[in-house]
Amino acid sequence: MSTINPRTNSEEIKSTRPNQPVASFIQEAENLYIWCVDDIPELIKVGIDEAFINELPQRIEACRKAQTIWETKLKTPGEAQLQWKLKVYEAQKLITELLHSMRFAFRNEADLLGTIKYIAKESGYASLIQDLYNLSVLGRSNSQLLTAVGFDLDLLDTASAKSEELTALWAQSKNEKQYLNETAVLRNKAFWYLHQQVAKIRSAGQYIFRHRKDRSIGYVSQFWKHKNKRRSTPDK
Q: What is the pLDDT of residue 232?
A: 65
- Asked whether the predicted pLDDT for residue 31 surpasses 70, the reply is yes
Q: What is the pLDDT averaged over residues 56-83?
A: 87
pLDDT at 170: 86
Question: What is the pLDDT, as a whole number, of residue 173?
Answer: 83
**Would you list the domain boundaries of the chain?**
10-76+181-231, 79-173
State pLDDT tens for residues 94-138: 999 999 999 999 999 999 999 999 998 877 889 999 999 999 999
**The pTM of the whole model exceeds 0.85:** no
Residue 149's pLDDT is 95
pLDDT computed for residue 233 by the predictor = 60
CA 92 to chain centre: 26
Report the percent of the chain where pLDDT is more than 90. 68
Are the C-beta atoms of residues 186 and 66 closer than 8 Å to each other?
yes
**Between these two residues, 171 and 158, which has the higher pLDDT value?**
158
Calculate the alpha carbon distances from 114 to 108, 142, 160 in Å.
Answer: 11, 14, 21
Say which residue, 232 or 80, is predicted with more confidence.
80
